[in-house]
Structure 1
Amino acid sequence: MEINNFVKFREKIQNNIGKVIVGKEEKIDKIIVAFICSGHVLLEDIPGLGKTKLSKALSKTLNCTFKRVQFTPDLLPSDLTGIYFYNQKTGEFELKKGPLMSNIVLADEINRATPRTQSALLECMEERQVTIEGNTLKLDSPFFVIATQNPIEQFGTFPLPEAQMDRFFMRLSMGYPEYEEERAILNKYMSEDPLEDLKAVISMEDIIYVQKHYSEVSVSEDIKSYILDIISETRKSYDIELGASPRATLNLMRGAQALAAISGRDYVIPEDIKSIAVSIVSHRLTVKSSIGTSRSDSQEKILEDILNKIDTPLEKL
């Protein structure tokens, strides 16, 4: 494994997306980690913070096909997967591909679609295939879903149940830009949209390499025990009704491996676990009701308390 390939992969993406998105390097790093691990990302944020622009910039940077789907209550599963239609000229049924037949899919406001449509998307995310009228078709590779939802406005929505939230590799929030970052946004977009001129800097060979080799990053037994301590504590905490699943355990280890690789290391350190644990684990927790606090805030706060309570392997030494 050439660790320098991972470092260059990260630098190329960060520099290219940085032409469009200002000051979100840490969030972009985590999205890179999710992409390398073939996971999917849920962005919880209010409108207007650049979620769509980030998704488009990522697809252009990676030279991948991109589709955006606005989720609404009348959206059907077939609107995502596609349909077979009868072509009168040829006298045969032909496939009209849906937006899921793309490399990167932006599922905008996923909580506004009915549970049936949500399930169709989440099944495709897990199985990497779609079934249309009995025919099973493999999805394109890479296949990466960025779903968004507004955590504030809940009127007319269908919240994702815990079992479906568990399908997302990571949950992120872009957040408001800092004062000077917003000034840079004004200057950058004053005369033109830099997204229009964005060029691809990553090849398919680069993508295949990082997705195939990131798992070669070494994870010591102490680090594995540290991961297990965190996950185990979520299952014992008084504030949590339902702790993290084994899928969370695996994803936390894999995410740490990918983060270590793009950071230039072929081994995982405790800081890798700490920096991504909240993003990977918190949305999988079912917490006891907390008055005056949103579900996502209470989930993250509880997990941060767990991280602060558990000794890291180096502290034990």
Structure 2
Amino acid sequence: MANSRQVSFFADILHSAIDGHPTLATVSPSTQMEAMDQAPMAVSLPNSEQVYMKNALGETYLVQISWPLSWPNGRFFEGSAPIIYIVDGNALFLTATEAAWRRAAESRFVGGVVVAIGYPLSGKVYDSKRRSLDLTPPTVTQIPGFGGADSFLDFIEGIVKPHVQARFPQISIAREALYGHSYGGLLALHTLFTRTRLFDCYIASSPSVWWNDHCILETGKTFLQQDKRPDTNLPSLMVFWGALEQYPHQWGDESLDQFESRQHVASIFRTTENSIHICEMLRGSPHLNAVLMNEFEGEEHTSVMACSMTRGLTEFFENWPFRG
């Protein structure tokens, strides 16, 4: 609990801000010094929570959830709201949460629920081994360490989704989206093609279409050849990527050998060409409501994540149903 001097300090800041003056400059030197002497505290995130969950094999996942700042407590909100599920949650939970909060502060829409699925990590944001297994689709010839996407989707459908629904019992779920980047984008496409009704919207950021000799394209062709769904609630797809992924620039401190090595890898992944190809293949399909694609100029494979998250979340939360 704050003491009287702390209260006085923050009151000084408040009054100086209201008066339109620089805040700390109007506070007495002694009060400033006392404030700087306070012990640092860990940053806390309001309107959020996290829980550890196990899948059928007993493997542990970190599931982080956030909801709009306008909801004083998620349990007491009543109404309709969208939910976005995000893989690689350790790397993207804060990105998505802050994007949603910023939009709600300026937009006509109040936001929705963010659910990020990651791993119990410390000191890093990726578990390369586990994500390689969880986010890649099964193959005819098993590839060790890969191909566990269906088991991961079973976990999302059977354990994560019911938990979220129980956590917000008074919410009417308006729609649900799945966002994934890189291997996660590959997972989004695989889910669209094989479990179409699991989500209403699929957001594939820099999808790894190249993986396993472009096998996802064959899965997509099978999806297109199936009988038309009788219902009208068709899913939508968004595909995003950075212009520098396939056509990189040389960094200022990068040697020519390093740059040429990156160029070679980029020419194998062909992110721009593959992303456009998947969209052109799916556009006009009677199995989809809309296909939206966008290339972000000046962005590479990791920097584009923030762009695709903000654009995808905004379209899904605010501009639904969107038109491709």
Please, what TM-score do these two structures have when normalized by structure 1?
0.26
